[in-house]
A = this chain, B = another copy of it.
Amino acid sequence: MRVSYQELYGVLVRALGKAGFEPDRAHLCATLFADASRDGVASHGLNRFPRFIDTIRRGIVDVHARPERIAGAGGLERWDGRRGPGNLNAHHAMSAAIALSQAHGIGCVALANTNHWMRGGTYGWQAVDAGAIGICWTNTLPNLAPWGADNPRIGNNPLVIAIPRSRGPLVLDMALSQFSFGALESYRLRGEPLPVAGGFDTDGHMTRDPAAIEHSGRPLPIGFWKGSGLAIALDMIAATLSGGRATHDIPSRPEDETGLSQVFIAIDRCALSSVAEVERTADRIIEHLGVRYPGERTSEIRRTSLEEGVPVEPAIWRDVQNLI
C-alpha cells in the first residue's frame, strides 16, 4: 500500500502536535520520519513511529527539551540533548557541525543525553544537502558481544559517512553488527537463511539461522574482531567528547534505552578546492566502481516514492492514523 508523501507527513505532524510538540518541531520531526519511509527505511520511519510516541508517554523522551550548547573551542562543541527527541537533537547537532565547518573548515559537535536518532542516514543526507562531508555515529545500549566475550557489552553503534555529489551523493549508513535485529526478523519471517553467518547460536557456533541468533542474543560484529574494536573506539570517543554516557551505562532493555552519546563531524569539501574539482574526482571514483555505491539505491527509492507514493504497512498506517 502506498500513500502520498504529503498525506503521510500530514498525519505524522498532527500526531506529533497531539503528543505535545510545538508546531515548528512537529514539522521537522514529521519530515524526518516521513523522509525515512520515503527513502526505503520504514523500520526507522513510519514503522518506528508508534514506539516513538510510546517513549514520549513513558517519559523517556521530553518533547519540550531543546538541545543546549555547553562548551565550545574553535571548531569543537559539546551539546546537551536534555533527553529531547533524538532525531531533533541529532538534526540540530549536525546543523551546528555544518555551521562550524563553514567557519573553521571542519566542525565537530559531541552530543550527550540524547535519545535514539532513528534513521542515521538522515544526518548524512542533511550534510550533503548542505554541501558538506558528514561523518557521524551514535552509541547504543549493549546489544553486541565484544569479540572474545559471550554476552552483550558493546553497542552496534551505527556509523554514517556522507559525501556530496551532484549526480548522487554517497551516503553510507551502517550499524556495526552484520545484521540488525530487524533484518534477522525479516529473514526469519521469510523462512530464509542469512546470506552469511550473522551470529552465534546458544551453543556458541556461528550460524546463518536468524532465529537461533535472535534466541541467543549474539549477533556478530562486522569483521568479527575488527568491528568489535571499532565499536569500542566509537563509544569511547562519543562518551569522552560529549561528557555523556558510554554503552555500559545505557539501560539494556530496548524500551528503556536513553541517554545516548553521539558525534557529528562536518567538513567543508570546497574550502580548499573548487566544486568542479571535487565533483570530477567523485564522479571518476563512481565510474570506475562497476557496482552500486552506498546511497545510490536510496536515490532511486526516493524518486519512486515521490512519484508513486510512499510504501506503508497497512496495519501500522491504521494505528498511526488512530493517534490523531
Shortest A221–chain B CB gap in Å is 8
- Please give, as numbers and ranges, the residues of chain B lying within 8 Å of A72 by CB-CB distance: 105, 272
Q: Are B224 and A147 in contact (CB under 8 A)?
A: no
**At the interface with chain B, which of A10-18, A59-67, A233-241?**
A233-241
Return the CB mask of A116-130 against B: 1 if under 8 Å, else 0: 000000000000000
- Interface flags, A11-46, vs B, CB<8A=1, else 0: 000000000000000000000000000000000000
Interface string of A225-253 (1 = CB under 8 A from B): 01101101111110111010011110000
Pick from A74, A247, A277, A292 the residue with the most CB of B within 10 Å: A74
Query: With a CB–CB cut-off of 8 A, which chain B residues contact A323?
Result: none
Contacts of A110 in B (CB 8 A): 272
A139 to chain B, nearest CB (A): 10
Q: Which of B73, B222, B235 contacts A272 (CB 8 A)?
A: B73
Q: Which residues of B contact A75 (CB under 8 A)?
A: 74-75, 104-106
Alpha-carbon distance between A154 and B265 when the two chains are bound, in angstroms: 24
A324 part of interface (Cβ distance < 8 Å):
no
Partner of A222, one of B107, B133, B227, B249: B227
**When the two chains form their complex, are residues B240 and A146 in contact, meaning their CB atoms are under 8 A apart?**
no
Nearest to A232 among chain B residues (CB) is B293
The count of identical subunits is 2
Contact status B229-A163, CB under 8 Å: no
Greatest chain B CB density within 10 A among A70, A233, A248 is at A233
Please determine whether A106 and B108 come into contact, CB atoms closer than 8 angstroms: yes
B294 close to A240 (CB less than 8 A): no
Closest to A277 in B: B243
Cα A237 to Cα B178 in complex, Å, equals: 24
Is A92 interfacial (CB-CB < 8 Å)? no
Chain B's nearest CB lies how many Å from the CB of A208?
A: 12
Task: Give Cα A289 to B77, complex, Å.
Answer: 28
Q: Which of B71, B74, B106, B267 contacts A103 (CB 8 A)?
A: B74
Shortest C-beta distance, A269 to chain B (Å), equals 6
CB atoms of A232 and B294 under 8 A apart: yes
Give the segment of A1-9, A279-287, A306-314 that binds chain B.
A279-287
Q: Are B106 and A74 in contact (CB under 8 A)?
A: yes
CB distance from A259 to the nearest CB of B (A): 13
Q: A72, A147, A178, A222: which has the most chain B beta carbons within 10 Å?
A: A222
Known pairs A76-B104, A153-B289; list 5 more (Cβ under 8 Å). Answer: A146-B291, A235-B285, A240-B282, A243-B281, A246-B288
